[in-house]
Amino acid sequence: MRQRQVVARLHERVRNARADFHWKAAALLVAKGKHLVGDDLNLRDLATGRLARFVHDVGWGEFLTLLACKAESAGLPLEKVSPAYTSQDCSACGHRLKKSLANRRHRCSCCGLELDRDLNAAINIMRGGTGPPGVKVADALPCPQIPFAS
């Protein structure tokens, strides 16, 4: 019986740390943002595939719900963009370059652009959103640094 209590306490600590991180990250994004744009992920399908354990572990659904609520209460628009090819299309010239998930760098064979795959996808996602007038993608990046919960 004692071991179950120890394990339950550890699970509670992890759950609390995750919730704390979600609250801090959402608050920081809403405080720094003028217009929030993100992938319109199909979490139901992701949570049944081979990444299911990781999707459930990090609580994407909880975070996205919390972010939507915080953005709405702050009067900020939260726009969802189709995630199709955001990490494969070059953010500079638009050339589509197929790559595996293991490939973490975007190297365009057409224009020579080289940057992190996630940053390339973030630029494409920002361009996919309409955004407020006068705000350029360069003004919105890089994303604010979110401190890890300790």
pLDDT in single tens digits along all 150 residues of the chain: 689 999 999 999 999 999 999 999 999 999 988 888 888 888 888 888 887 888 877 888 889 899 999 999 999 988 988 888 888 999 888 899 899 888 999 999 988 899 999 898 888 888 886 655 555 555 555 444 545 444
Annotated domain spans of the chain: 1-78, 84-132
For residues 150 and 146, give the distance between their C-alpha atoms in angstroms, rounded to a whole number: 12
Report d(CA 6, CA 9) in Å as an integer: 5
Give the angle subtended at the CA of 138 by the CAs of 70 and 127, to the nearest 5°. Answer: 70
Whole-number Å distance between alpha carbons of 63 and 58: 9
The overall pTM is greater than 0.85: no
Written as six digits, the tokens of 5 are: 């209590």
pLDDT of residue 17: 93
